[in-house]
Amino acid sequence: MCRINIEIHKTGLTRTFNVSGKSFSIEVSEHDSIELMVSMLRAQSEVSYIIQEKYDIYMSTQWAPLLIMKKERLGLNVELTRGRIKIQALCLSFEYGINSISRVNDAIYDILNREYGHYNLDFRVFSTTYLEHMLGVDIPNIEKVKFEQRKISELFFFNRKKPKKAKIFEHELYKNLQKKEFDYERAETNYLFESNQERLRRILAEIGANKKDFYTVLYGDEDVVRDGTHRLACIYYLYGDLQVPVMRLYIPDPYYSYSLYNASINNEVVEVIR
């Protein structure tokens, strides 16, 4: 069993890991601590997906470790092998069984919600991909959160092929759903072993099975979707123009601006859209 505790100090953060009765403490910056936590959440969601959807890949880890995540700056290395998750992070090295994933995740979410979950914000509502790639760096800077309902047609979406806003019926993703072209070429942040086709079919199945509520993320008073485009496109494709729950995050100068995001994907700079 793995327990994770955190203590705040004036000089930074002391992270204390308690693994199998052994205690390890390290001093890290606030942002590095958050990045480590959200990276672990993302890595563990990757492991869960492999176990549930890619059993042949999971079985291959009985003979050779499978690298799930590597971040050299943090010294983070996550491997899946023989039913266990092995983690190296900074000066730490520990492992735990896959049956402990939910307990480790609960511990991390408890930390995030306790330290940064103001305005009734529960970090469990975000996808681990969005937490790790986009929001993590901004978590300490969230100044306000607002919840509301909006129709999908009232929102704008970003077309990556052209740096401009578009309504859902104009968006490339919705058009491809209509044409049933699930394998269109595009840079994605899917699970490691999930194709674009598998991702869209999975989301369509999840929404069709139980119509899960999830929050579409907007920044400030903008109406451009920052997280939730795939699910909204699938909802619009299946059920039409529904009202959906929206979360507005008020963050001064957020990292996830479209100029930075597109520069990272296409190696080019485009104008920030607001």
Average pLDDT over residues 183-211: 77
Order the strands of the 66-71 sheet from edge to edge.
66-71, 76-81, 84-89, 92-97
pLDDT over 80 at 258, yes or no: no
Percent share of the chain, pLDDT over 90: 42
Structure tokens at 266: 């296409």
pLDDT band at 116 (very low <50, low <70, confident <90, very high): very high
What per-residue confidence (pLDDT) applies to 111? 85
- Measured CA to CA, the distance from residue 139 to residue 123 in angstroms comes to 10
Q: What percentage of the chain reaches a pLDDT higher than 70?
A: 77
Domain ranges of the chain: 2-112, 143-266
Range with the poorest average pLDDT among 132-141, 156-165, 239-248: 156-165
Query: Helix, strand or coil for residue 196?
Result: helix
Bridging pattern class, strands 157-159 and 144-151:
unpaired
Could you read off the pLDDT of 144-190 as tens digits, one per residue?
A: 999 999 999 999 988 766 657 789 998 888 988 888 876 655 556 67
CA angle centred on 20, ends 17 and 21, rounded to 5°: 75
